[in-house]
Amino acid sequence: MSQIIVRVQSREGTKRIKCSTTESISSFLSKISKELSLPKGGWTLYKERNKTGEIKNSSRRTLSSFGVKHGDMLFLSQEISATVNDAAEASSFPLSTSTTAAPIASSSVKEDEIDIFLSKQDGLIHRGRDPQLCHHNPNSKCIHCVPLEPYDEEYLKNHQPPIKHMSFHAFLKKLGQGTERGKFTVLEDTSCRIKPGCTEHPPWPGGICTKCQPSAITLKRQTYRHVDNILFENPFIVEPFLNYWRKTGNQRLGFLYGRYEHHKDVPLGIRASVAAIYEPPQEGTPDSIKLLSDPNEEVIDKLAADLGLQRVGWIFTDLVADDVRKGTVKHLRDINTFFLTAEECILAGHLQNLYPSPCILSSSGKFGSKFTTVVVSGNMDNQVGFDGFQVSNQCMALVRDECLVPTIDEPGLGYIRESSSDQYVPDVFYKTADSYGNEVTLLARPMPIEYVLVQVPAAFPVESQFTFTNQSEGEPFPLENRSSMGELQDFNALVRYLNQFSPDQFLTAMSNFHLLVFLATCDMLPLKGHLEELCEAVKNKDSVAARRWSKGEQWSTVIQLMQAANAPSPEPHGSHDVDMMDASQSPSGASWTCQHCTFINQHGHENCDMCGLPQR
């Protein structure tokens, strides 16, 4: 059996395949599929670059029968679905109105409820009759009182406060204002990658042509935004989050869970209403935050979905104490320094790419993102301030295609990679004014990161809202992933927390996001996969449904664990079936909960029966 090497060229590069001239075609194709990690179908092998001489699958024919010899080059072609993925124009308005392109079938895209609602609204800005300029009867309209379109520039500019960015749905209305009324409007994401499937030259770095080469990009400040306001339901959501910095001096990061709602202060606007902050595993210092792998990420997202919530953004602190006696913090971020660093923008772009907005007007079924960024830092009055942002769709593309990196010495500047043998990077430009006031175009090496920033106001309501219980009094349930500062979510914390409530306050006790996180992730409790009914009761504020769930087998088992772990309490709350006595007050020798693995030990030994670690 004569061994030979055959080269196979694909859009990913060239691979050398070891085989024999007497090997069957099916065996040879299987080797190619394994070596190039290809699916079973959707690709064809040819002898010539121009897609002639197809080598068809056969278990009887051999390589020699096709005239394949040692050192030959074969060409692999992968079928590309007919979608509109051409590189967008160098503009912040990636719009195509060609009738040859069409949005993805609406039946295959599940849009967010807020998008479905706003797409059915006309968004017109209604104006009253002007007593000085309107000389018609009350039932008529003139140029001075006719309703304005939601994208009217004069209205947005003269609004108090001014609206710097039109809403995304107002932007869509503007795109569809022509004679066709948006009939063929298709939104396209910017692409920074070589278009696959070109057979006119070898794969990069062997060559490139105008057909597959991505267009150069000129950065423009985005005129619209996907979210127009970030609203924290009440201050008690952020106070525990800020307390981490107050107690340790280290920075902290969290994910925002809430819902998208209609923001009526902006025509066709969207508001991200925040109901809770989840703190993932992380390592913080006074100057940095390092995110760690979160084994419970899917569990938390499922829990939030059962509560009618979703992940709407992320929040992080950048706080430096100024005067400890006055409680002031240093003002670090403004137009003279930076609002977000390039590194933070890249992370924001990465997260926005992870949470894209579904869109039936996009050929890919998604366009942009509603995922928001909130930075907590000192404001101009040296008080703790909250600033919201998103990065532009152009920035999302640059991050997704790994073109944008931070600079070493200037946090407010980004840098576009240069092309290498591994990656082709298109030219990226931005426009600015020179010392004489003339507009000049510069290569984005480096580039001011402000060109890709979109500001989103972040605020608190005048009257606090509560998806979960208002726990301004009493002992709150500990937050997750804070063992480094001595705050533990364990069985003792559960009992101490529940002891604050009487039996008729069961729904109030359960309406705590961090408590539900503990119940959903604790291995020692039999509640995993059994919280949907309780979450539904919390979402609907249904005390009857919550009480009914508490009578179930799973929660009854938790009560039995509490009773087994507790000594008699001098002042028990409520009846025997919801006895919530404090396990932390057990006498010496009674059952105790391991602080490391949360296993309940039914003896007075010093070491845990489960993990073997000491009690203290």
Q: What tens digit of pLDDT does each residue of 334-378 get?
A: 888 899 999 999 999 999 999 999 998 888 889 999 999 999 999
Q: Which of 10-19, 517-526, 544-553 has the lowest mean pLDDT?
A: 10-19
Above pLDDT 90, what percent of the chain?
Answer: 41
Question: Do 308 and 346 meet the contact criterion of CB atoms below 8 Å apart?
Answer: no
Q: Kindly compute the dihedral angle of the four CA atoms of residues 326, 332, 334, 338, in this order, to the nearest 10 degrees.
A: -160
In this model, does residue 577 exceed pLDDT 70? no
Q: Which of 250-254, 290-294, 578-582 has the lowest mean pLDDT?
A: 578-582
Residue 412, sorted as left (phi over 0), alpha (psi -120 to 50) or beta, turns out to be: alpha
Q: What is the mean pLDDT of residues 20-38?
A: 85
Instruction: Name the band, by pLDDT with cuts 50, 70 and 90, for residue 191.
Output: confident
Residue at token pair 């489960």: 610
Residue 408, sorted as left (phi over 0), alpha (psi -120 to 50) or beta, turns out to be: alpha
Q: What is the mean pLDDT of residues 275-295?
A: 92
Tell how far CA 549 is from the center of its chain: 32
Nearby residues of 159 by Cβ (< 8 Å), 6 or more positions away: none
E strand intervals along 89-235? 95-96, 166-167, 186-187, 217-219, 224-225, 229-232
At residue 374, the pLDDT reads: 96
In this model, does residue 178 exceed pLDDT 90? no
At residue 589, the pLDDT reads: 41
Separation between Cα atoms, residue 454 and residue 392, nearest integer Å: 6
R_g over Cα of the chain: 30
In this model, does residue 591 exceed pLDDT 90? no
- pTM confidence score: 0.74
In this model, does residue 383 exceed pLDDT 50? yes
Q: Which residue has the higher pLDDT, 254 or 57?
A: 254
Separation between Cα atoms, residue 450 and residue 96, nearest integer Å: 27
Question: Do 7 and 202 meet the contact criterion of CB atoms below 8 Å apart?
Answer: no
In this model, does residue 96 exceed pLDDT 90? no
In this model, does residue 580 exceed pLDDT 50? no
